[in-house]
Amino acid sequence: MYTKELKQFVGKEVTLKGWVSNKRESKTITFVVLRDGFGFCQCIIDQQNVGDEQFNDSRTLGLESSVEMTGKVVEDERQIGGYELHVTALKVLQAVSDYPIAKKEHGIEFLMDNRHLWLRSKRQWAVMKVRNRIIFSIHSFFQERGFVQMDAPIFTENAAEGTTDLFETDYFGQPAYLSQSGQLYGEAMAMAMGKIYTFGPTFRSEKSKTRRHLSEFWMIEPEMTFCDIFGNMDVIEEFLRYVVEDVVEHCKEELEILERDTSKLLTVGKKFPRLTYDEAVKILKGEQDVDGQNSIQTLENDLSAVKASISAKNTEIAEREAAIAAGGMKKGQINFNQNKIDTLKQELKQLEEDERNIPNWIESAKNFQYGNDFGGSDETVITRLFDLPIMVYDWPHEVKAFYMKRNPENPKFARGVDVLAPEGYGEIVGGGERETSEEWLKEKIVEHGLPMKAFEWYLDLRRFGSVPHSGFGLGLERMVAWICKLEHVRETIPFPRYYGRIAP
Ligand code: 4AD
Ligand code: MG
């Protein structure tokens, strides 16, 4: 019997088994929020109903004690999950009194050190459920359309995405690298099967500590034969729309726990803007407006608004603190004011971060050098002007990977496409049309300093029945971060690996 089944047992007696995720006490009642992994249920332990002994047991329950609770299921819309249990019998499996993660705020390093326990918290539970649904809906999308899921190797002889961030391992005395991308193998598999996708772990050894980078992450990489850059963009758009809409429909409770404003996600119903790199650069530098909005101008306006808001909040904090200090307030009033002050201070943190960031964004947008790749802040500046994902294509070929097809009409550009998510999430998808010419590929392999021998098998794909083909890679964790509106990708995966962390 699990919390998710309570609906079918209203008015009946059931036994739930799980852990104490929250507890509150009144004189003769203990309120326990029990979690069983499937969901949450408030359990009401009334001294009158369970007797003194079990009531006293309930008083000893600390967070994460394991318990069995028997009682009557009562519908109550106000409760999370929608039901509560009026307990008639309580059995304690293990009473815990020193669970390290208390309800008070902990620093992120502490939480990460205790990731094996932190996963039990309500927010983390919700994130993992959303991640699970995203994975399910990704498979549905591709399977419904006849794509075959195939697995690329993890030990590889060569670099797919450049040599700077490879993890080297010892493969029976010979160097091997952990895969950065399954794509090159995906291309070979697509030539055999028509349309495939890989779904596997990928590794990048970049020493970057940004909110978007992990050193081990999961990537979904479809590869399609007889498909050009524009067909590729059509699939990307349909795919992202499908996944977002499916997750919003099936993860209502989880997204509510995460306080996610889903109307901001459902903008994916509209057509995704497609910009060339050249247009994106003009927008970034404020040389081209989007619907009458200018990137630099809106940043400057926002900075003024942020400054005004900071000073208003500081004033309010000072006033409330003065009122408390003046004395004469009832306990309830003091608490009310103290809570307000805490909330204001929390909001200030975000505003002060904006106050520091925005001038840097303006600076780097204005000074952006045409021909460079976009940095995280450039992506933020561009995407702020849109309320849905945008696709940027036709990049200067120098900044893109060796396998990108050159635009036949203008070989300065490579037919890569990046999808930039709204709300500051930046690049979630990178892909493109693949070069079909053996000669051009060889040139690129040399230019990138890659060992030709390790790519002979890849060149065979151009020697034996070469066809136009395209594909892309979605970073699962970035997708989860965007859908859940998380500050950092480290919360999107059960046990994150990023620069500086390998435990637990
Ligand atoms: O843009 P990337 O490097 O593209 C490729 O690897 C291509 N071979 C994909 C393809 O065409 N089949 O990576 C693709 C996506 C990025 O858009 C991002 O979402 C994610 O993978 N990603 C990362 N996610 C977390 N941490 C990192 N260090 C990431 N690097 C890339
Ligand atoms: Mg990329």
Residues in the chain: 504
Query: Ligand 1 centre and the CA of 385: distance in Å?
Result: 24
Q: Which of 243, 435, 478, 480 to mutate to test the pocket of ligand 1 (most atoms within 8 A of CB)?
A: 478
Query: Ligand 2 centre and the CA of 241: distance in Å?
Result: 20
Q: What residues are paired with 83 via a beta bridge? A: 75
Atom 15, ligand 1: residue with shortest CA distance:
475
Residue 263 burial by CB count (10 A; 0-12/13-18/19+): exposed, middle or buried? exposed
Atom 21, ligand 1: residue with shortest CA distance:
475
How confident is the model at residue 161, as a pLDDT?
87
Atom 22, ligand 1: residue with shortest CA distance:
475
Q: At what angle do helices 476-484 and 122-144 cross, to 10 degrees?
A: 120
Neighbours of 413 (CB within 10 A): 20
Q: At what angle do helices 183-193 and 456-463 cross, to 10 degrees?
A: 30
Query: Ligand 1 centre and the CA of 183: distance in Å?
Result: 10
Q: Which ligand is nearest to the CA of 498?
A: 1
Measure the CA–CA gap between 303 and 321, rounded to whole angstroms: 27
Q: Which of 219, 243, 428, 493 to mutate to test the pocket of ligand 1 (most atoms within 8 A of CB)?
A: 219
Measure the CA–CA gap between 256 and 408, rounded to whole angstroms: 48
Measure the CA–CA gap between 307 and 369, rounded to whole angstroms: 29
Cβ–Cβ under 8 Å, residues 151 and 185: no
How many C-alpha atoms does 3 have within 13 Å on its Cβ side?
Answer: 23
Q: Which ligand is nearest to the CA of 202?
A: 1
Atom 4, ligand 1: residue with shortest CA distance:
430
Query: Ligand 2 centre and the CA of 104: distance in Å?
Result: 38
Query: Ligand 2 centre and the CA of 504: distance in Å?
Result: 28
Q: Which ligand is nearest to the CA of 189?
A: 1
Report the largest interatomic distance among the alpha carbons of the chain, rounded to a whole angstrom. 87
Q: Both tokens of residue 347?
A: 């909001």
Low-confidence ranges of the chain (pLDDT < 70): none
- What share of residues in the chain are helix, strand, coil (percent, to 5)? 45, 25, 30
Q: Which atom in ligand 1 lies closest to the alpha carbon of residue 219?
A: 21
Q: Which atom in ligand 1 lies closest to the alpha carbon of residue 432?
A: 11
Give the torsion through C-alpha atoms of 404, 408, 410, 416, to 10 deg. -30
Query: Ligand 1 centre and the CA of 222: distance in Å?
Result: 13
How many C-alpha atoms does 176 have within 13 Å on its Cβ side?
Answer: 11
Q: Which ligand is nearest to the CA of 161?
A: 1
Residues 6+ apart with CB under 8 A from 113: 503, 504
Q: Which atom in ligand 1 lies closest to the alpha carbon of residue 213?
A: 26
Query: Ligand 1 centre and the CA of 473: distance in Å?
Result: 6
Query: Ligand 1 centre and the CA of 418: distance in Å?
Result: 10
Cβ–Cβ under 8 Å, residues 184 and 196: no
Residue found by looking up tokens 């119903």 in the block: 269
Tell me the whole-structure pTM to 2 decimals: 0.95
Measure the CA–CA gap between 257 and 268, rounded to whole angstroms: 22
The amino acid present at 324, given as its one-letter code, is I
3-state secondary structure of 95: coil
Query: Which residues line ligand 1 at a C-beta cut-off of 6 Å?
Result: 160-161, 181, 183, 204, 206, 213-214, 217, 219, 221, 427-431, 471-473, 475, 477-478, 489
Cα 372 to Cα 102, 368, 395, 417, distances in angstroms: 46, 8, 9, 15
Query: Ligand 1 centre and the CA of 407: distance in Å?
Result: 22
